Amino acid sequence: MKIHEYQAKALMADRGIAVPIGRVAATVAEAVAAVRPLIEESGNPVVVVKSQIHAGGRGKGRFKEHPDVGGVNVVTDGIEGGVGAAEERVRELASQMLGSTLVTIQTGEEGKEVNRLYIEQGIDIATELYLSVLLDRATSRNIVMASTEGGTEIEVVAEETPDKILREEIDPAFGLLPFQARHIAYTLGLEGDAFKNGVRFLDALTKAAVELDTDLVEINPLVVTTDGAVMALDGKMSFEANALYRHPEVAELRDMSEE
């Protein structure tokens, strides 16, 4: 079972995993109303408007009805025009995106209708990385996969530069060991505060994967900010169907319209 990005990030935040501040919107009015609180809370005049569908490649995707509009849009109007300018741009984007059909590399030509948006604070990004926790059914163990090639589909990285993918198998009896977390953080090039934050992030993420019985947690990109924070800029989660009886709160997140 898959869930939306905003739902995955809520589950992460509840477990101490750093995510940007965001608000979900099902209407144009809700999208506009989210802008001012986000800017005031984050102190960043940039906001991001994200389509919420069960498919990857949203950033490069385009709407059938509005080919010039992407599935993910960075709104910078607030930098010079203030909150009001940002609100007007979000109003314009939301009116075009909601109810329209987004076509991505994963949806096929038929695309998917967008019925929800996620309005999120802008982030000052220093580095983009890739991180996932994947259930290997052959060994019945979770594997951490990490790469410095954040923002790129992992299938492309595996095909073109497989040497840039790090894999660490987790022993279920012990969880991710401290030396494994340090090794991953070091291999990703993290230093100073980013290194410490990265180790904590890895520990929290792998524990969440076990607690929630996920078969995939994918963060692409995982970002390091200019002040050394490590944060999930995107978030994808899918769950082992046979374990959902243990997680009624997760089962309630199921969106049948996406299936």
Q: Tokens 């994918």 belong to which residue?
A: 218
Show the tokens assigned to 39.
Answer: 């800017």
d(CA 173, CA 160): 34
d(CA 124, CA 157): 25
d(CA 227, CA 126): 9
Show the tokens assigned to 24.
Answer: 């979900």
* Catalytic-residue membership of 252: no
d(CA 146, CA 155): 13
Of these residues, 118, 130, 149, 168, which one is catalytic?
Answer: 130
Of these residues, 218, 249, 252, 259, which one is catalytic?
Answer: 218
Phi, psi of 85 (to 5 degrees): -65, -40
d(CA 137, CA 255): 25
d(CA 96, CA 117): 11
Phi, psi of 81 (to 5 degrees): -95, -5
* Catalytic-residue membership of 153: no
Show the tokens assigned to 26.
Answer: 């099902």
Phi, psi of 119 (to 5 degrees): -100, 120
Catalytically active residues, by annotation: 130, 218
